[in-house]
Structure 1
Amino acid sequence: MSTTTTRPSPRASVKARTARARRRSLALLRLAWIRARLRVLGVVAPVAADRLALDLWCTIRGPRAGRDHRTTTGEVHRLPVPRGGTVAAEVWGEGPVVYLVHGWGGWRGQLGSFVEPLVAAGHRVVAVDAPSHGDSDDGFMGHRRGTVMEMIEAFEAAGREFGPAAGVIAHSLGCTVTCQVVAAGLPAERLVLIAPNHDFAVVVEEFSRVLRLPSRVAEHLRGELERVTERSLASFDLGPLGVDGSMPDTLVVHDRTDKETPYRVGAQIASDWPNARLHSTEGLGHQRILADPVVVDEAIGHLTRRAPVERGR
């Protein structure tokens, strides 16, 4: 059976609610402006509409370094990546390596709550910023632009530098990145997938719906993404990678109220993978889940437990 952690949210202050409402209003205005631009360009300048849609897809919103849960700083290494520039990898402790892999728009500090207990358990912890994220150089598409392939290449660079993984803790799109790298050959004993992302085709459909892309522009975007990555979108799907039991023993952690990646996605992965189990939470959403003490304890326990994973849903 899955386990459930309940953590009620504290009452927001009037000031905080006002600030959130203002940010939401600005976001809605910006969305309306983008939709209008795409609608007009789709008629008068289709090529420009195609370029704008791809640029929006590859744009990383928000600060390069958001919430930081690290209690100590480690030694920062600069690792070269195939498309140019370097990425930042922060290292703590000694022992078997555990990697921390952030998601789209995230950075290594978001997973900082896992560092101290992993080091105390005798692990060397390595957290990597993908290109255009955190302290890494910008990606090949420019400032605050990125692709999933660059995220994969950053983790691969870390794997070459620091070696096989006793475990990996990944968040959101970092779950797909992790499983792609493991499937390609990085040895890993155990995985913790927190709020795993849904299939890429679904994400593209949702992106197209939110922006109200003309059908021709949406189809062109799908084609461009496959051209840039040199792979089909379906090849990035997370679910099929572990249905044959080829993934390491896996703990899936997902919050029932997650508004960014639906709870059903994590629950389905835990159901389909023969060597996975599900830990459910309530009220932590997509981000607070990374700092929840019970979640941290569950993840550390899974990575340090030597017995095989007992499957449960």
Structure 2
Amino acid sequence: MSAFGAVLDRLPVALASACLMAIVARSNRLTLKDRDRALLDRAQALRWGSNGQHRAWAWGEGAAVLLLHGWGGGAAQMGPLAEAIADAGFKAIAVDLHGHGQSPGRRISFSRMVEDVRTATRQLAPQAAAWVGHSAGGMALMAARGDQDAPAYVTLNTPLWPYPPLRAIARRVAPSQAILDECARRFCRQFDSDAPAVQAGSLHQHRGQGRLLVVQDQADDQVDPADAQRISATWPDAQVVTTEALGHHKVLWDAAVHQAVVGFLRAQAAQSPVR
């Protein structure tokens, strides 16, 4: 146990978990590399949000596909896949969610990510052909379904429930199990649900329409690869693509993954064309 973990264990569980949740919620923005800037330079810059202060980038023309990064990520991470989708005849729109990338905000949460998916869809892609999400972005898009459903969904290295930040807390701080359990309950409540339901896969449950492609790498060090089968089991005829040795982030740059996603989107567009 770390020294900080020992201090936390002397506090009431509710207070200790609240302290950890506040630390995890601090925005830690992705540092852009030259290749990331080049990707964004090739795109059309967009603005969204209540005051137009949030940022997004679009590549190509055609039916809109909304791309969502994960916790601590950014639109630039989705750029390589966005360009591949644009080359296939779609308009690929990657957003910087609140507290990420070039969008404002000092705090991040799953509940805000879900809200942002709905707002960005309404303002940038109201007739979206598909939603594509990496990691926590995949959970957010699944939770955001409702009045703004899309014909197709793609998740990449997405967990069944929000346990990755819990693993990070356990690894770095090593608080008591009671504190970790309370943090888990708080994370799950950010999806307007109780922990048992979320942990059982309620975020991903099929809701009557849409097709799903699940992409999962076997060397992912943040997401249990078995979650791909657990998620796909909640959908009729879900497709699963398994990759090897790419890890959690390189899956976004892989040409074979791009080909699989584009093929899925083309097939769904042919069956459910979006005007």
Fold agreement, TM-score > 0.5:
yes
Deviations 1:125-180 (A, max 9, x none): 21111111111101xxxx3x310111111111111112121112211111111111
Q: Counterpart in 1 of 2:140?
A: 177
How far is the alpha carbon of 1:91 from its aligned partner? Answer: 2.0
CA gap of 1:295–1:212, structure 2 versus 1, over 3 A, is same
Contact 1:118 1:125 in 2 (8 A): yes
Contact 1:226 1:232 in 2 (8 A): yes
Q: Counterpart in 2 of 1:206?
A: 167
Higher mean Cα deviation, 96-105 or 153-162?
153-162
- TM-score of the pair, normalised by structure 1: 0.73
Q: Secondary structure at the match of 1:305?
A: helix
How far is the alpha carbon of 1:64 from its aligned partner? Answer: 5.1
**Cα distance in structure 2, aligned partners of 1:238 and 1:121:** 36
Matched to 1:94, the amino acid is E
Deviations 1:194-216 (A, max 9, x none): 1111323x446535643322345
Q: Counterpart in 2 of 1:250?
A: 212
Matched to 1:284, the amino acid is L
Contact 1:131 1:151 in 2 (8 A): yes
Q: Counterpart in 1 of 2:22?
A: 55
Contact 1:38 1:49 in 2 (8 A): no
Q: Counterpart in 2 of 1:288?
A: 250
Q: Which sections of structure 2, spanning at least 5 residues, go unmatched?
A: none
Higher mean Cα deviation, 204-213 or 185-194?
204-213
How far is the alpha carbon of 1:280 from its aligned partner? Answer: 0.9
- TM-score of the pair, normalised by structure 2: 0.83
User: Which of 111, 117, 123 is matched with 1:161 structurally?
Assistant: 123
Q: Secondary structure at the match of 1:90?
A: strand
* RMSD of aligned alpha carbons: 3.1
Matched to 1:298, the amino acid is A
**Cα distance in structure 2, aligned partners of 1:238 and 1:133:** 28
Contact 1:108 1:134 in 2 (8 A): yes
User: Which of 50, 61, 78 is matched with 1:111 structurally?
Assistant: 78
- For these two proteins, the number of residue pairs brought into alignment is 267
Matches within 5 A, 1:214-225: 214-222=176-184, 224-225=186-187
Deviations 1:229-262 (A, max 9, x none): 6543455558335555635211111111111101
Q: Determine if the alignment matches structure 1 residue 79 to structure 2 residue 48.
A: yes
Q: Secondary structure at the match of 1:192?
A: strand
CA gap of 1:244–1:120, structure 2 versus 1, over 3 A, is closer
Matches within 5 A, 1:10-89: 35-43=2-10, 49-61=16-28, 63=30, 65=32, 68=36, 70=39, 72-81=41-50, 86-89=53-56
Q: Counterpart in 2 of 1:136?
A: 103
Q: Which sections of structure 1, spanning at least 5 residues, go unmatched?
A: 1-31, 309-313
